[in-house]
Amino acid sequence: MKHILIVDDAATVRMYHRAILEGAGYRVDEAINGFEALEKALCQAYDLYLVDVNMPKMDGYTLVRALRAEGEIAQAPAVMVSTEAQAADRDKAYQAGANLYLIKPTRPEVLLAHVACLLGDDL
């Protein structure tokens, strides 16, 4: 079973994404900011990171750059999600090392299709 880490400071967003992903059969953990996520990632292997952009303590861009610098865990796909819809925000995410940038709120079928594609899973 593929293991996904949801990183978002908003509990409602974490619950929303958790319900979608667990409903599709994924195992899910949560972190409330980039520091907590990085700590978890260094102790536990994840198959994919679903990362909010704007968070206190460590934002999503910084987290993704840190993950990309960490040997084996650097290979796991990172999907960044944000309410920021400007091209500059998307470019910054890709420059940080994100595999995909989605705008919140993301429809469940869109999120699942992208996650399945990145993980090589059947829908």
Q: What pTM does this model have?
A: 0.96
Q: For 56-98, what is each residue's pLDDT tens digit?
A: 999 999 999 999 999 888 999 999 999 988 999 999 999 999 9
Is a pLDDT exceeding 70 seen at residue 123?
no
Domain extent listing, the chain: 3-119
Q: What is the CA radius of gyration of the chain?
A: 13
Q: For 33-42, what is each residue's pLDDT tens digit?
A: 999 999 999 9
Superfamily for the 3-119 domain: Response regulator (3.40.50.2300)
Nearest-angstrom CA–CA distance, 116 and 32:
24
Closest CA to 117 of 67, 48, 53, 14: 48
Q: What percent of the chain has pLDDT over 90?
A: 91
Mean pLDDT of the chain: 95
